[in-house]
Structure 1
């Protein structure tokens, strides 16, 4: 009786990616596999597979990290199935939690891949990825601006210069900037110290404004419909709308509110055992930046939307932090509904 191959043999490649080298572990559905090190070049891995595992159905996986998605896109171009996984999703048994090497990491990825226990994170297309890079650059500038402001005020305090009461706040008006420039010192070295910090401040401030304007203009042009749908939701301004579009992508990809809230981190954890049941608060696994944006947007929504304000007042007397998270969750629900139904939000309408 003639035997025939009815299915392609499968190859599972776990990769521990670093800048200078890759640790590779190859295993098949029949044997445990082999580990080796190679240069960080997808073409060389492809040549190795073609030489030693021709006609295999190849699946690769590596951890999401600083090396981005270029390797993933190369693997998919070869016709392979490729996964980029969250490191927290890779299960470690017993002593594996206390032993970490690149070789072990590659073996664990290959093992989990072979057992079918890995799911890929969502890979953005190149346009979204590059938009996200500019949005994250803006957040770096926000941190830099906050840092240089603190440095300038610290320097004034160090020199014993008291900031006038009308300027002692977070808003740096042009009058306050001129006041700092006009300060007199005994020696030119101190004056140059303040002048240098003010030049740094003005550069970062201008850069932040320019990047913010470019982000808003790009989204108005290329994601016009979703941008203005998001802007219709109370509390969501131009930058928050840009953040949602760049970091979350198309909200229509989320099946329901539970899926989206879990991704953002506004779904509470739950502990239940026997008669004991308690909430664990917000999940630490979250998108921290977008979660913070929705919490800030919730405070604005309370001031502008009477329905959300009524929901907030209904919970008055409880922990304020817990209340605002509830409001942020409701705001997230309405944001998802606005995008999925493609209907602008109407202030005061009960959904």
Structure 2
């Protein structure tokens, strides 16, 4: 995750763009005006065939987004559209801007984006929307004026607070802990961390101390190195929360080969397939995540619904999301996938993603 449960969780972050551009400036202007003026949803409108949907993850070749975007592609195939994936190899704040611009020029019908930075992508997304393109964020949100709807993994509060609860159970509610996040500007991680800090204020966690929030930038080697640094800086560290699939896997890899294995608890958001060996060798007891394939699937259907006029992004609107059934747009244009799952040795072999 980016992090992948990344499961109870919620919030998080990617976007869908629907391109309806014309061939002249006047055409583009009239289309943009028509798009903005069309504020009435028709839930009975059919899903348009042939929609072009592009997925723009925080970074390509990230296992979490590979799974999420495959789920999105399956949805696009189901409603007879065309899908593609593009994006940067790094998760820096502005790395997605040029890709948004290119997709706008290509007149994609839908772009699914997980924002590396909530604000850096907004000007480019606004240009896309002005060109008649619908924008849906998923996993990690952008500022609301840059998108139509946000597909949230789970309630951000549930995700943040549950991470603390899972770790606290493992360390007896006592000891120094650290957080290994993705990038400093990642909206989903930052929201979860705010709820983690608030949860830690409760009396039952008075024996726990958050000593550091480190950032691995969703890079495997940097996350590995940051884990090593945390243990060197805090030799009495008792636990680490890593709400990112890249981070938790890198941290588990370091712990599994160190003297801290079994002594420092690790939890966070990860996929069963990447974490299975660390659960079975005792490095990790429990972690969380939602099904990223379902997240991408829901984002694709939301984009299709927007592009087809079934929804406009207003609270209370509903649409059908294939195998996931009926979904309702909530406050501020947020659609929630559902609660995360806790994985451990007892159930991890029941999942394959």
Shorter chain as denominator, the TM-score bin is under 0.3
The higher radius of gyration belongs to 1
Higher relative contact order (CA 8 A, sep 6+): 2
Which has a greater percent of helix?
A: 1
Alignment TM-score, normalising by the size of structure 2: 0.22
